[in-house]
Structure 1
Amino acid sequence: MASSAQSPVQTLPKSLDLIAIGRSSVDLYGQQVGGRLEDMASFAKYLGGSPTNTAAGGARLGLRTGLVTRVGADHMGRFIREELEREGVDVTGVVSDPERLTALVVLGIRDRDNFPLIFYRENCADMALDVADLNPDWLRGTGAVLINGTHLSQPGAFAASVAAARLVKGNGGRVVFDIDYRPVLWGLAGLDRGEDRFVAHAGVTNRLREVLPLCDLIVGTEEEIHILGGVTDTVSALTAIRSLTNAVIVCKRGADGCVAFPGAIPAAVTDGLVVPGYPVEVFNVLGAGDAFMAGFLRGWLRDEPLERCCAWGNACGAIVVSRHGCAPAMPTWPELEWFLAQPSLPRRLRDCAELEHIHWATTRRHRYDELTVLAVDHRSQFEDLARELDADPARIPQFKALALKAVERVAGGDDRFGLLLDGRYGFDALASAADAPYWIGRPIEEPKSRPLVFESSADVATELTEWPLAHVVKCLVFYHPDDPEDLRERQERQLLRLFDACRKTRHEMLAEVIIPAGLPVDATTVARAIRRFYAIGVKPDWWKLEPAADPVAWRNIEAAVLENDPYCRGVVLLGLSAPEEELLASFLAAAPAGIVKGFAVGRTIFYDAARGWLANRLDDDEVVAMMAGKLKTLVDAWRRARADAMGGRAA
């Protein structure tokens, strides 16, 4: 047997837990399930590539991860880099290759057993990885390195993987080997057979075995154990592997869980450490192995017992097989904790509303401790103003572009600022805002409708598929919890439709609730409306609510939100054309409520400027200066009110 593969005692603290090396691609997942790849009409774009998925999955579980790969100096390469950064993965080792394109993979879900996929990897960036791409100082700062079998098929990538493994090993780290066998990427299957998992080949076996003396952990499916072992009998293959390494070997067995072999190989596979899987309905097996690796490493890299590492890996795999996609399906640590704590789970796991909500809420981009928004999504109000002033409504889009400039003047790139813009008159401003870091909200409702009517297609989900993912769907509903039953039910059905559409199209939702004029309001009214929304299953990411002078009302609102959705992003105050002095006073009442993150105010800021500009009494610069000044006044006032409230609390 080979000499012990156990790592020496680490003497220096590590800045990262894990650096993965290898494939990084854009996955284009067919959105029509149950048919041929030839017949799929639309595709969802996701982060992809086995080690990339594991790096992202590990970060979601709380590991400090990094990635070594190449991406093209193209749009898809920038997408990968940005997605990794959003996931919290260190991209120090991600190299942009100006001569090659980013790898693509086109995938589909045919049925429970067939998942056609095509690798677009002809001279792609990640397979050109080379030793020169390694950053030795950065690699020395990790506790472990994950190398990947597919990348051993290319000489340069093989050399880079081995060099990284030796460097990490020599600095007290551990080496993890994901066998990850894809015959097509070794030239052993037709280009249309990307889903094939096993073709016996002595050359592949010999190449993979070269890294075994470096390994502390080896993970693979039974087919992958067979290619590494060189035989198709699992025990014999394990025995052959054990003769070359003392590494812990983990054999993934799908729905049956996994079996770990920390020492000698027994006479039967089931005589190893058997850890059962979870009986869930399989929707998509792709990505499950990467999720298993992330879950297993969450335990193994923190020296948890081997059985617990296996259980976490199995749980992560079970969660991912129930979902569409690979990297975006990876669970977060709160999600995994919730899953493991349940005494029973539905077999059709993707229908578990609580689990899916935790997943959604804990994978949202960015965190907002403050949000101050200029709302210029008004449509009918601008039309009325143009009509009153006999101004050309074609000028309205130009004014909304000036509003973006006003925000930029105050914000200067600060992502705590945002805009509410509509697609009808604000399309050009929305396009310009795409390059800025600001929060963007966009209305979906027909102005002034009660009962609620959507401005777009009769199928609101179809409309949202055309919206960028960064756009938050804002829906204003004139609603009172004591509305007549038929009216209330009509509006609630619309809200449920919209909420479902937002989740399915991966858009955040902002619910703006205004109590209709003339109806009774007390300190409980808005809180009761919020509780009713939650009761019917609507969990908006944001609430936009009317300012209230009564601190009791805000305490009731905060309790209603936090008791039903502790993951809610928060509340922003709307303005209702209130004079500036009234808004400033309302900030003082709302500031002590931590659930309130700021405001989304419109007419108080823009109305006078719009009126003067449409009447040709103000020029562009004067309008921008006027709106920027009013916005800054409100921002400064909100921040003072919040600081005073927090200081009072601390005292």
Structure 2
Amino acid sequence: MTEPLLFILAMDQRDSIEQKLYELQSAPTPEQSASIAANKLLVYRGLLDAVPGVPEGARPGFLVDEQYGGSPAVLAAADSRVSVAMPIEASGQEWFDFAYGHDWRTHAEFFGAEHPKVLIRDNPGLDEQHRAEQAGKIATISAWARKAGLEFIVELLVPAGDDDLAEVDGDTDRYDREIRPGLTVRAIEYLQDHGVEPAIWKIEGLAQREDAERVAAAARRDGRDARCIVLGRHAPQEQLDEWLRVAAPVEGFIGFAIGRSVWWDALEGRLAEDLDEAAARKQVADNYTHFVQTYLAARA
């Protein structure tokens, strides 16, 4: 039986929207908060415009935060065509922390999201105490999600350390190609050994098929049933297309979760008043559809 595909439009960014898109230097005003919320709803509507073009056997998803995305979260939860994912982590933190402290379970359950999600940064060269403390928190979420029958997503970023960059003469592209894949496998295995057992690993793009195969094998180590999806990292379309083409044919990869590469330019156009709402929605729908078609073509 063919594994169902999952194509998530990620719109759970908070700090980056405030600081980089809206260029805020302080906490948003009520008017600015309302504008951010309205733009999250616009992006969701753009996704809905694209949903009829998603083929059978593939499921659209929407990843959105409670802070600014309550309206689309409610709408998506009521729409049987769309899988809802929502973040548990506080935004903009170096190490994982809960967005709502000890009350995280109440918030995680409130909207009925099928995919609770956390973003973490890990690298075998980072401080061991911080790594272990972070893994322990994620393991708690992992156990809760499995007991609740939810498909937990761990978004894993593996930033380069100084020693990593020294190996490639400071070339970040070489780090991505030559070093990050192996560190990603080691980070997954470390987290698994510390009780982190997501249904889905959200992974940075890989340049070579054999690296995607190594990562997928790590996710399924020792009989585990986890799958992988490709994250966007606000990469240019050409770069993202290549990452999707590498991952799509690999057993264990089932789709993507792409955000800013789909909607950033459209929202910049809205804020600059260069695009009306209909044009911005169309741009979101077209970009999302492009990545879906790229993935499907590579998988075929």
TM-score range, shorter chain: 0.7 to 0.9
Does the 8 Å CA contact 1:374/1:407 hold for their aligned counterparts? yes
- Partner residue of 2:110 out of 453, 460, 466: 466
Please tell me whether residue 381 in structure 1 is matched to residue 16 in structure 2.
yes
CA distance in 2, matches of 1:408, 1:463: 25
CA distance in 1, matches of 2:109, 2:288: 32
Please tell me whether residue 456 in structure 1 is matched to residue 100 in structure 2.
yes
- Partner residue of 2:253 out of 596, 608, 633: 596
CA distance in 1, matches of 2:10, 2:157: 15
1:567 maps to a residue whose letter is D
Report SS of the residue matched to 1:387: coil
TM-score, length basis structure 1? 0.40
Instruction: Give the corresponding residue for 1:545.
Output: 203
Does the 8 Å CA contact 2:9/2:288 hold for their aligned counterparts? yes
Q: 1:478 to 1:617 in 2, by over 3 A?
A: same
CA distance in 2, matches of 1:421, 1:429: 8
Please list the CA deviations of residues 601-620 of structure 1 after superposition, one character each: whole Å capped at 9, or x if unmatched: 11111111111112222111
Please list the CA deviations of residues 62-105 of structure 1 after superposition, one character each: whole Å capped at 9, or x if unmatched: xxxxxxxxxxxxxxxxxxxxxxxxxxxxxxxxxxxxxxxxxxxx
Does the 8 Å CA contact 1:422/1:442 hold for their aligned counterparts? yes
- Partner residue of 1:508 out of 151, 164, 182: 151
CA distance in 2, matches of 1:452, 1:575: 20
Does the 8 Å CA contact 2:120/2:155 hold for their aligned counterparts? yes
What is the CA distance between 1:534 and its match in structure 2?
1.6
Instruction: Give the corresponding residue for 1:393.
Output: 33
Please tell me whether residue 580 in structure 1 is matched to residue 237 in structure 2.
yes
Please list the CA deviations of residues 205-248 of structure 1 after superposition, one character each: whole Å capped at 9, or x if unmatched: xxxxxxxxxxxxxxxxxxxxxxxxxxxxxxxxxxxxxxxxxxxx
Instruction: Give the corresponding residue for 2:48.
Output: 408
Does the 8 Å CA contact 2:136/2:194 hold for their aligned counterparts? no
Please tell me whether residue 608 in structure 1 is matched to residue 282 in structure 2.
no
Please list the CA deviations of residues 403-446 of structure 1 after superposition, one character each: whole Å capped at 9, or x if unmatched: 12111111128561111111111100111112222111111111
Q: 1:517 to 1:447 in 2, by over 3 A?
A: farther
CA distance in 2, matches of 1:413, 1:509: 26
Report SS of the residue matched to 1:538: coil
Does the 8 Å CA contact 1:460/1:498 hold for their aligned counterparts? no
Please tell me whether residue 446 in structure 1 is matched to residue 82 in structure 2.
no
1:516 maps to a residue whose letter is P
Please list the CA deviations of residues 361-380 of structure 1 after superposition, one character each: whole Å capped at 9, or x if unmatched: xxxxxx95211111111111
Please state which structure has a larger fraction of its residues in helix.
2
Counterparts of 1:194-233 in structure 2 under 5 Å? none
2:42 maps to a residue whose letter is L
What is the CA distance between 1:505 and its match in structure 2?
4.1
1:402 maps to a residue whose letter is L
1:556 maps to a residue whose letter is R
Q: 1:526 to 1:492 in 2, by over 3 A?
A: same
Report SS of the residue matched to 2:299: helix
What is the CA distance between 1:625 and its match in structure 2?
0.4
Alpha-carbon RMSD = 2.1
Does the 8 Å CA contact 1:527/1:560 hold for their aligned counterparts? yes
Please tell me whether residue 631 in structure 1 is matched to residue 267 in structure 2.
no
Does the 8 Å CA contact 1:512/1:544 hold for their aligned counterparts? yes
CA distance in 2, matches of 1:368, 1:432: 26
Question: Which consecutive unaligned segments of at least 5 residues does structure 1 have?
Answer: 1-366, 644-651
Q: 1:522 to 1:408 in 2, by over 3 A?
A: closer
2:146 maps to a residue whose letter is R
The aligned length equals 275
CA distance in 2, matches of 1:517, 1:628: 33
CA distance in 2, matches of 1:522, 1:619: 40
Q: 1:518 to 1:608 in 2, by over 3 A?
A: farther
CA distance in 2, matches of 1:482, 1:565: 27
2:73 maps to a residue whose letter is L
Please tell me whether residue 435 in structure 1 is matched to residue 78 in structure 2.
yes
What is the CA distance between 1:387 and its match in structure 2?
3.2
Q: 1:398 to 1:368 in 2, by over 3 A?
A: farther
CA distance in 2, matches of 1:368, 1:422: 27
Counterparts of 1:83-94 in structure 2 under 5 Å? none
Instruction: Give the corresponding residue for 1:535.
Output: 193
What is the CA distance between 1:638 and its match in structure 2?
0.9
Please tell me whether residue 419 in structure 1 is matched to residue 62 in structure 2.
yes
Instruction: Give the corresponding residue for 2:220.
Output: 562
CA distance in 2, matches of 1:505, 1:416: 21
What is the CA distance between 1:548 and its match in structure 2?
0.9
Does the 8 Å CA contact 2:74/2:111 hold for their aligned counterparts? no
1:447 maps to a residue whose letter is S
What is the CA distance between 1:571 and its match in structure 2?
1.1
Please list the CA deviations of residues 139-181 of structure 1 after superposition, one character each: whole Å capped at 9, or x if unmatched: xxxxxxxxxxxxxxxxxxxxxxxxxxxxxxxxxxxxxxxxxxx
Please list the CA deviations of residues 291-332 of structure 1 after superposition, one character each: whole Å capped at 9, or x if unmatched: xxxxxxxxxxxxxxxxxxxxxxxxxxxxxxxxxxxxxxxxxx
Q: 1:503 to 1:369 in 2, by over 3 A?
A: closer
1:460 maps to a residue whose letter is W
CA distance in 2, matches of 1:424, 1:368: 33
Report SS of the residue matched to 1:453: coil
Report SS of the residue matched to 1:585: helix
Q: 1:448 to 1:638 in 2, by over 3 A?
A: same
Q: 1:641 to 1:582 in 2, by over 3 A?
A: same
What is the CA distance between 1:485 and its match in structure 2?
1.1
Q: 1:619 to 1:476 in 2, by over 3 A?
A: same
1:464 maps to a residue whose letter is A
Report SS of the residue matched to 2:66: coil
Q: Percent identity?
A: 28
2:16 maps to a residue whose letter is Q
Instruction: Give the corresponding residue for 2:174.
Output: none
Determine which structure has greater relative contact order: mean sequence separation of CA pairs < 8 Å that are 6+ residues apart, divided by chain length. Answer: 2
Counterparts of 1:309-324 in structure 2 under 5 Å? none
CA distance in 2, matches of 1:503, 1:459: 18
What is the CA distance between 1:459 and its match in structure 2?
4.2
CA distance in 2, matches of 1:522, 1:508: 26
Does the 8 Å CA contact 2:145/2:152 hold for their aligned counterparts? yes
Counterparts of 1:61-460 in structure 2 under 5 Å? 368-384=3-19, 385-387=21-23, 392-412=32-52, 414=54, 416-436=59-79, 437-460=81-104
